[in-house]
Amino acid sequence: MLLLHVFRFAGFTLLVVDQVDPSISREALSAIAYGDLLAAISALIAALALRGRSSLAVPLIWVFTIIGFVDIVNVGRIAISLDLFNQYIGTMWFVAILFFPTLLIAHIYIVYRLINKGSEDLKNIENDL
């Protein structure tokens, strides 16, 4: 589940010239892109810590979860305020309708597993996340 979030760098395609409607605020698109990048990096760090059975793995997964949820809320806020779904966003349309819901479900599952299995050893958590 963590590795799925590593692919959030796809949000950076919003910054490609002519990928989206040029009337959309570059500032808003940058906020989305860099938020996704931060979430992707934190997911990768958490996954590596988990794979290495580090004692920091679970706290890093929580850090990733917080960063990821904040990013999702921020993206939603920006998308609604700019009415992005009624503007040309190129191939990001597929990310918005396919990848975004998958990420949200994965986040919810990760939180569920952390809450219900947080005290178990890393081996069991690693198998689930």
Within a domain: 115:
yes
The pLDDT tens digits of the residues spanning 69-126 come to: 999 999 999 999 999 888 888 888 888 888 889 999 999 999 998 888 755 555 566 5
Within a domain: 38:
yes
Within a domain: 114:
yes
Global pTM reads 0.85
| Residue 122: predicted pLDDT | 53
Within a domain: 17:
no
Q: Residue 63: how many CB atoms within 10 A of its CB?
A: 14
Within a domain: 121:
yes
103 with 122: CB under 8 angstroms? Answer: no
Please give the distance of CA 32 from its chain centroid, rounded to a whole number.
Answer: 10
Within a domain: 105:
yes
Domain count, the chain: 1
The residue assigned the tokens 């918005």 is: 96
Contacts of 14 (CB under 8 A, 6+ apart): 20, 29, 32, 33, 89, 92
The pLDDT tens digits of the residues spanning 47-72 come to: 999 999 888 999 999 999 999 999 99
Give the domain range for residue 94: 2-11+24-128
Cα–Cα–Cα angle for 7, 94, 29, rounded to 5 degrees: 70
| Residue 127: predicted pLDDT | 59
Within a domain: 16:
no
Q: Residue 95: how many CB atoms within 10 A of its CB?
A: 20
Residues comprising the chain, all counted: 129
49 with 57: CB under 8 angstroms? Answer: yes
* 18 has pLDDT over 60: yes
The pLDDT tens digits of the residues spanning 23-36 come to: 999 999 999 999 99
